[in-house]
């Protein structure tokens, strides 16, 4: 009974550690989703996450009345219709109805603006452009630092119908950035993943080699094959175990019951 109890405790702890590692990696990736880091020539770190709004931003067209560009920052627009489907980050409107997607959430990137007047630039690309230049519908949002309690009031800087592109000025106190030194391209989550997979490969290579020399063949050559087969269940138990600790629940989870 004692050894079975210790084995159960070991399996619980492994599952718990796996959950913590997963949460750490996911949290690291999410934290850097809409953050422009410093470079050799640009020493500001600009976090655009505060600009992701539940209410879409609006910039009236500079070329035609009743046209405007509806957009959000690092987030899809709330407005959805047949011409502005879910997943759009920038959508041109005419009289309040969608007319053309100018940028998708899946096709955006952040960069330091070549113009030092601006602290950051978000580029979003959309579907194929049928204009003279070819390419794709493109939106470039230029962020400018505005101190004090300034309310964001985006406006169109440049609009090119033939090139299917629009440049939008977005002044805000949230894009002033903070001084920071350039970091390596890999974050903590990336380093952790590399170390994990390297150790996993070494572990499997050594285990399979030893099993082969002992005469084992087939799938049984994989070290601790029973453990790996039960890994999905262990991860599920780990989440339930974590939830029970947070909520104070006393119910059993997985194949374990409260002792």
Residue 165 β-bridge partners = 138, 160
Q: Which pLDDT does position 220 carry in this prediction?
A: 83
Largest CA distance in the chain: 80
Residue 139 tokens, joined: 């939106």
The angle subtended at Cα 82 by Cα 77 and Cα 86, nearest 5°, is: 35
Query: Residue 210: its pLDDT value, please?
Result: 86
pLDDT under 50: residue ranges of the chain:
1-3, 5-6, 19, 21, 23-31, 256, 259
CA–CA distance, 151 with 173 (Å, rounded to integer): 8
Q: Tell me, what's the pLDDT at 104?
A: 96
């Amino acid at each position: 009974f004692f050894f079975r109890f210790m084995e159960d405790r070991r399996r619980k702890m492994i599952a718990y550690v796996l959950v913590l590692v997963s949460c750490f990696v996911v949290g690291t990736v999410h934290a850097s989703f809409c953050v422009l880091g410093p470079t050799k020539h640009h020493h500001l770190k600009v976090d655009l996450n505060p600009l992701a709004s539940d209410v879409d931003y609006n910039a009236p067209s500079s070329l035609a009345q009743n046209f405007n560009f509806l957009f959000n920052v690092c987030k899809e627009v709330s407005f959805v219709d047949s011409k502005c489907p879910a997943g759009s980050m920038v959508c041109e409107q005419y009289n309040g109805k969608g007319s053309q997607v100018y940028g998708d959430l899946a096709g955006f990137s952040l960069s330091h603006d070549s113009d030092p007047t601006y602290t950051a630039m978000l580029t979003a690309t959309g579907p194929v452009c049928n204009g003279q230049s070819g390419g794709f519908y493109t939106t470039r949002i230029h962020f400018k630092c505005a101190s004090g309690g300034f309310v964001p009031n985006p406006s169109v800087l440049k609009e090119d119908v033939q090139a299917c592109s629009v440049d939008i000025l977005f002044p805000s106190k949230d894009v002033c950035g903070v001084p920071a030194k350039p970091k390596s391209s890999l974050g903590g989550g990336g380093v952790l993943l590399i170390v994990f997979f390297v150790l996993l490969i070494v572990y499997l290579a050594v285990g399979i080699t030893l099993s082969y020399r002992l005469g084992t063949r087939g799938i049984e050559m994989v070290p601790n094959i029973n453990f790996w087969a039960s890994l999905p269940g262990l991860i599920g138990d780990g989440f339930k175990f974590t939830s029970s600790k947070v909520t104070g629940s006393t119910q059993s989870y997985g194949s374990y019951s409260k002792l």
